[in-house]
Amino acid sequence: MSVPAAMRAAVYRRNDDVRIEEMPVPRPGPGEFLMRTVASGICGSDVMEWYRVKRAPCVLGHEVAGEVAGLGPGVEGWKKGDRVFVSHHVPCNRCRRCLMGDHTACPTLHATNFDPGGFAEFIRVPAINVRVGAFKLPDEVSDEEAVFIEPLGCVVRGQRAARIQPGMSVLVIGSGIAGLLHLQLAAALGAGKIFATDIHPYRMEAARRLGATVLPGGEGLPGALRAANEGRLADRVILCAGAPAAVEASLRCAEEAGAVLLFAPPAPGQDYRVPLHELWGQQVALVSTYGAAPLDLAQAIELIRARRVDVGGMVTHRLPLEAAQEGFRLVAEAGESIKVILLP
């Protein structure tokens, strides 16, 4: 496989301004390799303008699958043509945060990234990402399925922090890609009754197809939950939507001694009334997680390989790189789409 001198990339300026531009193919240095991007998923965080626009113009994309296209000096254990998933953020495994198990709070994890990003035909993978965050893809995991490794890894980490156990009742608020992965993983971990809600009928139907009991949202959600759960609220509530109404609902739906996993962030500057006295009296824990560490990603690969979590049927749109703007529109509108994949 020959590597050209130039490549195409989708350059993000804002959600409605994603341009296909030509740029030089990056060259791998010592300890690095060049990856040819085969599939790249558009994440919900990619269309959070408040989060992304401050970096613009840039090439986004971190849910990637590809193959090794070139090796820098000193790279061992890899060869051209190897199928690979690479994490864009990786920890140092040496700092105090890492040694305490809080890898996604590691300063190195927040400073690492691809060159330029997953919405490009080629990616230079830095040496630390090669060492800590590169995984050979099993034959049983397709390129499209590999796009789900990163988001599923985040879900794995979240549910570990929330200590979801067999027999628990789980409510997922927000049935987009993250919510659908959460309800599948909860089922794989042996959760008892699994409930889901969303404001969009398309996503509510997707949650129903994956085995969740779908509840209406809004002010009546706690009552609907009790009616469907033998008079009880949920042992674990997983918040996968940043809308104010969703955040407030999550705090009203946890059973005594339960927990709320704050998985999706609201926009900055939004304030909420948090009933701390009630949460204290009911012994409800608030848990938050960010990203995924290498162990989470390794477990996500195995969950996909073993078909414990079925991700293949969640791809609703496959688009060429030239249609990146359309892909961003689909994800930003959060309508009749689940997973949108670009195929550079």
Q: What is the pLDDT of residues 228-279, one digit of tens each?
A: 999 999 999 999 998 888 999 999 999 999 999 999 988 888 888 889 999 9
Would you say 112 and 88 are in contact if contact means Cβ atoms under 8 Å apart? yes
Find how far residue 337's CA is from the centre of its chain.
16
Domain co-membership, 80 together with 140: yes
∠163-164-166 over CA atoms, to 5°? Answer: 130
Please report whether residue 298 resides in a domain. Answer: no
Domain co-membership, 173 together with 243: yes
Residue 185 has pLDDT above 70, yes or no: yes
Domain co-membership, 243 together with 319: no
Q: Are strands 33-41 and 134-136 parallel, antiparallel or unpaired?
A: unpaired
Q: In whole numbers, what is the pLDDT of the chain averaged over residues?
A: 96
- How many domains does the chain fold into? 2
What pTM was computed for the model?
0.96
Buried/exposed 226-236: b ≥16 CB within 10 Å, e otherwise: eebbeeebbbb
Measured distance CA(305)–CA(137) in Å, rounded: 9
Residue 60 has pLDDT above 70, yes or no: yes
**Of 202, 83, 70, nearest to 123 (Cα)?**
70
Secondary structure class of 269 (helix, strand, coil): coil
Structural domain span for residue 38: 6-148+311-343
Residue 1 has pLDDT above 70, yes or no: no
Centre a 10 Å sphere on the Cβ of residue 96 and count the other Cβ atoms it contains: 9
Domain co-membership, 181 together with 144: no
Residue written as tokens 């599923």?
152
Cα–Cα separations (whole angstroms), residue 270 to 26, 176, 245:
40, 22, 12
pLDDT for res 312 = 87
Please report whether residue 306 resides in a domain. Answer: no
Domain co-membership, 19 together with 98: yes
Please report whether residue 293 resides in a domain. Answer: no
Domain co-membership, 110 together with 225: no
Domain co-membership, 130 together with 179: no
199-223 pLDDT tens trace: 999 999 999 999 999 999 888 999 9
Would you say 161 and 135 are in contact if contact means Cβ atoms under 8 Å apart? no
Measured distance CA(59)–CA(120) in Å, rounded: 7
Average pLDDT for residues 9-25, to the nearest whole number?
97
Please report whether residue 304 resides in a domain. Answer: no
Domain co-membership, 268 together with 173: yes
For 210-338, where are the E strands, in sequence order?
Answer: 213-214, 234-239, 254-262, 285-288, 315-320
List the CATH number of the domain containing 205. 3.40.50.720
- Give, to the nearest 10 degrees, the angle between helix 294-305 and helix 149-162: 110
First to last CA, the chain: 16
Question: Per the structure block, which two tokens stand in for 319?
Answer: 């688009």
Residue 159 has pLDDT above 90, yes or no: yes
**Residues comprising the chain, all counted:** 344
Domain co-membership, 23 together with 112: yes
Contact partners, residue 92, CB within 8 Å, separation at least 6? 98, 106, 107, 108, 109, 128
Domain co-membership, 283 together with 317: no
pLDDT band with cut points at 50, 70 and 90 for residue 2: confident
Average pLDDT for residues 125-144, to the nearest whole number?
98
Secondary structure class of 198 (helix, strand, coil): coil
* DSSP secondary structure string for all residues of 75-135: --S--TT-EEEE-SS---S-SHHHHTT-GGG-HHHHH---BS-SSBSEEEE-HHHHHHHEE
∠294-296-298 over CA atoms, to 5°? Answer: 70
